[in-house]
A and B are shown apart, each in its own frame.
Chain A
């Protein structure tokens, strides 16, 4: 187990190194001045010379990279070319908002996906299975931005059950402390905290459900296929032959073996979810990382692009490695295979 963790951390360190090199070189690939692209300080600025020296642009490329890393770990990620705001300060407020949305959506997908998949597999090729398969196939094929638009049109505009977009009604005047709206409302000293919380949850329902769809149907499909394969194996027949009841077979033998297959793909579901946050945040005006990234690409705000891309990619990689380690820890059988490669 320790060997696997060490191996995974080596791979993580290596890939993160490649990513930082990539992010570092983005400053040179973007059109314009590399120093401006990395720090957001214009050539005409009086601090320009000082920034160029601090980022070691008078030395060779390796010391430039080291200076970039030093700046990165000192949370000095430059300023936005658009409004001169510090990228780190802005990031600190936007990251929790994205995290809140994606964690809730992921939790919803994990809560519903595997049970529905197992339900479908138990009734393989019966009507329940066909209905679930049909929905998962259409959920897999529906473009997420169209689904978001349709759901806004139906549930927010026509029926008026939920608000159209945004985080919370601005009249509640919630001070921005952490960025995550639920935490902010919790911290706000206000008499209307309960109503504000309810309002924020109403705003959250639609984006979370739409965001959860893609990982949800992915998990349903994976669980169903894995479970159908497991049900064919001899030990299931053996368990029934020993006189175990269906729930016992299911919970003691089938589900653990199914989940072994599914756990590995949770990171795939998560990376799909992260790409979809870009689109969902645009549509629902959610003040998170995705909307910031897309806007900064329009506005060619290079320090922001550089920072956000690096962080989103590292987030995906971290989840990837964490899933692999969890998989190896929870299912000892796969350790040998991991060791062999």
Chain B
């Protein structure tokens, strides 16, 4: 913008700019955005950044407290666990399983679910109503329980848990997309463009899609936070990641027996999980309110 504008003009920032301005204005939201970028970085490159391997044991240094305590060692910044493995390295390695894997799974579920939802919604008919009833059943059962059903069939293990969590969120995306599109289809502006004779592809991409971004983004952030929690919960219950894998939930499960003597082994993975979840939730909330403000504008 030139500073010497003659007339007052209402400036409408683009959605991305608007989102950035909103994130910029709220310190908590900005912090969560930075945290998530950092987590993404760690999930991608954590295994190279880590000073030691995830399962590298130092048998002479078992249960070493973090470096800031009197008995700590600076080589092991966050201490070691009861088997002499470096906590910092394990947490860095674990980000890939607890943050990266759910992100990947939810992205895939979103891709599948949204495209199926679009197909169902754009071809309204008998099939659509049947699909709605069937998904209504699946939708009211919480995702962890559904994932447990799938794991009961295909057996425990990290790949199976990831698959189960991916599958669980597909119908949710499908249902959200379908309902959002069906709601928009009845509105005047859609009917107007239909009267203009646009093709159904154009109708969806250029007319409806910009107006259903909010429910889709909301669903994505909710599903992402639920997926992280679910994969950690499955790891904790011993049905997801198995013992030596440095998944944060599985690390918490291992720490149960040693929590009293070595509290940091329990506190650190839990804290990492807590910070991750709170960042995802704050970011979701901010994005939602940004999009809401834009809709009302």
Contacts and interface: CB of A to CB of B under 8 A. Distances in A.
A30 interface: yes
A307 B292 CA distance: 44
B256 A313 contact: no
B273 A143 contact: yes
Interface string B262-280: 0100110010011001101
Nearest to B143: A275
Nearest to A267: B140
A29 B149 CA distance: 11
Interface residues of A, number: 45
A145 to B, nearest CB: 5
Max chain B Cβ within 10 angstroms of own Cβ: one of A31, A145, A272, A313: A145
A279 B237 contact: yes
B136 A15 contact: yes
Output the residue of A275, A278, A279, A313 with the most chain B CB within 10 A.
Answer: A275
Tell me what chain B mostly uses at the interface: helix, strand, loop, or mixed: helix
B278 A272 contact: no
Contacts of A320: 140
A146 B278 contact: no
A274 B152 CA distance: 18
Interface in B96-139: 133-134, 136-137
A297 B259 contact: no
Interface in A250-308: 267, 271-272, 274-275, 278-279, 282-283, 293-294, 297-298, 300, 302, 305
B273 A146 contact: yes
A333 B96 CA distance: 49
A18 interface: yes
Interface stretch (B84-92, B203-211, B212-220, B228-236): B228-236
B148 interface: yes
A140 interface: yes
A294 B148 CA distance: 9
A150 B270 contact: yes
A309 interface: yes
Given A14-B133, A150-B270, A313-B145, A143 B277 contact: yes
A143 B277 CA distance: 8
B274 A141 contact: yes
A145 B249 contact: yes
B148 A309 contact: yes
B263 A153 contact: yes
Contacts of B236: 145, 279
Interface of B: 133-134, 136-137, 140-145, 148-149, 151-153, 155-156, 225, 229, 232-233, 236-239, 249, 252, 255-256, 259-260, 263, 266-267, 270, 273-274, 277-278, 280-282, 285
Top 7 A-B residue pairs of the complex, sorted by shortest distance between their CB atoms: A146-B270, A141-B277, A141-B278, A275-B144, A15-B137, A275-B142, A271-B142
22 contacts: A15-B137, A26-B152, A29-B153, A138-B274, A141-B281, A143-B232, A144-B233, A145-B233, A149-B255, A149-B256, A149-B270, A150-B266, A153-B263, A271-B140, A274-B145, A275-B144, A275-B145, A293-B148, A298-B238, A309-B145, A309-B148, A317-B140
Interface of A: 11, 14-15, 18-19, 26, 29-31, 137-138, 140-146, 149-150, 152-153, 157, 267, 271-272, 274-275, 278-279, 282-283, 293-294, 297-298, 300, 302, 305, 309, 312-313, 316-317, 320
